[in-house]
């Protein structure tokens, strides 16, 4: 049995224990129904997936950005997205000037990576330096990837962000670059 983390009418979240064997597994939902509904799933060391602001796995990344002033070494938060009753939209991230911008991406299936050097991120086709990829530390099963936004990115507007971990590519998300 694995403890439930979240339950809703169309979604059940749980954390698979570290000792579960890799390969095909059957998940049974024990809720008093007879027979218990089940689904077959693939359990793997690496299965990267990035979270999105709309919760659908597509669109703007569920991420936070931080601007670090080079002169004063102070950090300021930068919005990455805005959500309202009509949905979620990307907010432009200004990467120019005398500061460095860092992006913190959130997902799952990343912590089992073989080495940090085997984690890559491309934004609009431009490689972004990956500074960290592993457990987020506060929430069970949540992984975090920290990158430095590439200053040489000449494209503006919404761009595809592609994360690859040990050769496996996650779902493509979007960030808005100004």
What single DSSP character describes residue 37? P
Which residue range(s) make up the domain with 33? 4-43
Give the pLDDT mean for 26-51.
Answer: 87
Residue 101 and residue 156 in one domain:
yes
Is residue 38 domain-shared with residue 110, that is, in the same domain?
no
Q: What letter would DSSP give residue 36? A: P
For the chain, how far is it from start to end, CA to CA, in angstroms? 47
Asked if residue 26 and residue 53 are part of one domain, the reply reads no
Q: What is the pTM of this model?
A: 0.88
50-104 pLDDT, tens digit per residue, is 999 998 999 999 999 999 988 888 999 999 999 999 999 999 998 877 889 999 9
């Amino acid at each position: 049995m694995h403890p439930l983390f979240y339950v809703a009418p169309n979604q059940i979240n749980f954390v698979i224990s570290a000792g579960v064997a890799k390969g095909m597994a059957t998940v049974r939902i024990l809720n008093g129904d007879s027979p218990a509904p089940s689904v077959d799933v693939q359990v793997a060391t690496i299965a990267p997936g990035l979270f999105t602001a709309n919760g659908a796995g597509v669109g703007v990344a569920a991420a936070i950005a931080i601007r670090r002033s080079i002169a004063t070494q102070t950090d300021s938060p930068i919005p990455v997205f805005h959500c309202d009753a009509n949905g979620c939209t990307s907010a432009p991230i200004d990467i120019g000037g005398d500061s460095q911008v860092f992006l913190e991406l959130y997902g799952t299936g990343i912590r089992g990576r073989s080495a940090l050097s085997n984690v890559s991120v491309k934004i609009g086709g431009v490689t972004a330096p990956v500074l960290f990829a592993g457990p987020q530390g506060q929430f069970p099963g949540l992984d975090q990837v920290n990158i430095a936004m590439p200053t040489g990115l000449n494209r503006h507007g919404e761009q595809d962000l592609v994360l690859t971990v040990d050769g496996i590519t996650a779902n493509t998300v979007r960030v808005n670059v100004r």
